[in-house]
Amino acid sequence: MKEKLSKIMEDAMAQIDASGQLEKLNEIRVAFLGKKGELTSVLKSMKDVAPEERPKVGQMVNDARSAIEEKLEQKKALFEKKLLEEKIKSETIDVTLPGRRMGIGHRHPNTITLEEVENIFVGMGYNVVEGPEVEYDYYNFEALNIPENHPAKDEQDTFYITKDILLRTQTSSVQVHEMEKGKLPIRMIAPGRVFRSDEVDATHSPTFHQIEGLVIDQGITFADLKGTLQEFAIRLFGEGTKVKFRPHHFQFTEPSAEMDVSCFKCGGKGCRFCKGSGWVEILGCGMVHPHVLEMSGIDPEKYTGFAFGVGLERIALFKYEIDDMRLLYENDTRFLKQF
Ligand code: DAH
């Protein structure tokens, strides 16, 4: 019996020594100390031992159990220490490593262009004002001389919210708000987002930006309009830029015109950019229609004025020689960083 016990002990110790992982220790514990374990089976065979010998053998079995348990605990502590060390090692932070660079953004060509336009007009004494993007039909159409059922309404495919409320199709609506305030003279530009139910392509988008201009005072003439917009074109596109006014039609101005600027890319000789013509259309303008003044409470006998509307994206595309409008809406920093 004694030999059997010391054989079991030896086996257990050797197996514990050889174990390579924490899980293995549990298997050893079950194999030796479990209900069907080797040590337990010795206890079961106690009945074969002479009664006077039993206490002694019992003591030996208990000693063996304690020794194995102790050895198991020691080994377990060793494994746990090693695991902890590995964890600490993997989680240490090297404070001497250089930091990761954060990607930074870049100003959008629209923003850069808008600031340039604003600076030019603020320098001429204009105020920069804003109006609502969600607008009454009255401000977007009716008060601009575009009555219900007028075909001009169809030209600007409109997102309607209700019968009377819509997403503005033009910043011209801001003119009406300014005139209604009744404070004259007016010298304002109104930049902002407009909406039209257009399909997306290289030159169209359901949302884009316009800059509206309005001047109302006594004695304003078409010569003021021409001089102002020519100066604007030269400051924006550079010395030597030529302008040309072509007769046009807008409901809210009379007379109306479109202004072209000489292509700064080819200097007017004709290139891919200006489609060979040497000119690029840049804005719509005209003398404010007397009926429009009247509807907003301004006496057309006393006051006259001019107005203009520019597409912001149109200018940005032209100025920065970008040939697809969609690039302006993707906000890819690799694109934006070029400006
Ligand atoms: N609102 C016009 C458009 O969206 C642009 C425009 C033309 C505005 C002539 C004006 C103007 O103020 O006088 O096409």
For ligand 1, say whether the CB of 288 is within 6 Å of any of its atoms: no
What are the helix (H) ranges across the chain? 2-18, 22-33, 38-44, 54-91, 109-123, 137-140, 152-155, 172-180, 222-237, 290-295, 312-319, 327-330, 333-336
Contact (CB, 8 A) for 103 and 190: no
Closest residue by CA, ligand 1 atom 4: 170
Q: Could you tell me if the CB of 170 is within 6 A of ligand 1?
A: yes
Nearest Cα residue to atom 7 of ligand 1: 284
Residue nearest to atom 8 of ligand 1 (CA): 309
Does 310 contact ligand 1 (Cβ within 6 A)?
no
Residue 151: asked if its preceding bond is cis (omega within 30°), the reply is no
| Spatial separation of the C-alpha atoms in residues 13 and 38, rounded to whole Å | 13
Pairing of β 165-167 and β 304-311: unpaired
Give the SS3 label for residue 232: helix
- Ligand 1 contact via 251 beta carbon (within 6 Å): no
Enumerate the domain spans of the chain.
2-90, 109-336
Nearest to 252 by CA among 170, 168, 149: 170
Work out which ligand 1 atom sits closest to the CA atom of 288.
Answer: 13
Take atom 2 of ligand 1 and give the residue whose Cα is closest.
309
The residue whose CB lies within 8 Å of the most ligand 1 atoms, and thus the one to mutate among 171, 188, 252, is 252
Other CB atoms within 10 Å distance of the CB of residue 107: 11
**Dist. CA 233 → ligand 1 center (Å):** 17
Cα–chain center distance at 65:
69
Question: What does the pLDDT profile of the chain (339 residues) look like in tens digits?
Answer: 778 888 888 888 888 888 888 888 888 888 888 888 888 888 788 788 888 888 888 888 888 889 899 988 998 899 899 999 999 988 888 889 898 888 888 999 999 999 999 999 999 999 999 999 999 999 999 999 999 888 777 766 899 999 999 999 999 999 999 999 999 999 999 999 999 998 899 888 999 999 999 999 999 999 999 999 999 999 999 999 999 999 999 999 999 999 999 997 888 888 887 889 999 999 999 999 999 999 999 999 999 999 999 999 999 998 998 989 999 999 898 999 999
CATH node for 109-336: 3.30.930.10
